[in-house]
Amino acid sequence: MSAQAQGLGNSPYSSLGIGEIYGSNNITNMGMGGLGTAYANGFFLNSANPALLVRNRYTIFEVGLLGQSKRISDNRGQSQQDFGANLSYLTLTFPVTRYWSAGIGLRPYSYVDYQTTQYQKVPGTIYESEYVYRGRGGLNKAVFTNGFSITRNFFVGIEAAFLFGNITNDSDSRLLIGGDDITVKRSTLTSYSDVVWRLGAAWRPKIGKDWFLNIGGTIDPMTRLGGKSLDTYQQIDATGAQISTPDTVSSQSKGSITLPTQLKGGIVLEKSQKLAFGIEFGYQPWSKYKSLDGSPTNLKDSYSVGAGLEFTPKTRSLRYFDLIPYRLGFNYAKLPYAINGKQPDDVSASLGFSLPVGQFVNSMTISLTGGQRGTVVDNQIKERYFKIGLGLSLNQQWFQRYKVD
List the domains of the chain with CATH numbers.
Answer: 12-396 (2.40.160.60)
Q: Calculate the CA 81 to chain-centre distance.
A: 21
Whether 7 has a pLDDT exceeding 60, the answer reads no
One DSSP character per residue, 119-138 reads EEEPTTSS-EEEEEEEEEEE
Residue (of 376, 395, 338, 386) closest to 30 by Cα position: 386
Residue (of 233, 293, 268) closest to 36 by Cα position: 268
pTM score of the predicted model: 0.87
Q: Distances from the Cα of 156 to the Cαs of 49, 100, 105, 256, in angstroms?
A: 9, 10, 19, 30
Confidence (pLDDT) at 1: 37
Task: Quick: pLDDT tens for 254-303.
Answer: 788 999 999 999 999 999 889 999 999 999 999 999 888 777 788 899 99
pLDDT band per the 50, 70, 90 thresholds, residue 6: very low
Task: Quick: pLDDT tens for 136-163.
Answer: 999 999 999 999 999 999 999 999 999 9
Task: Quick: pLDDT tens for 288-297.
Answer: 998 887 777 8
Q: Which residues contact 209 (CB under 8 A, 6 or more apart)?
A: none
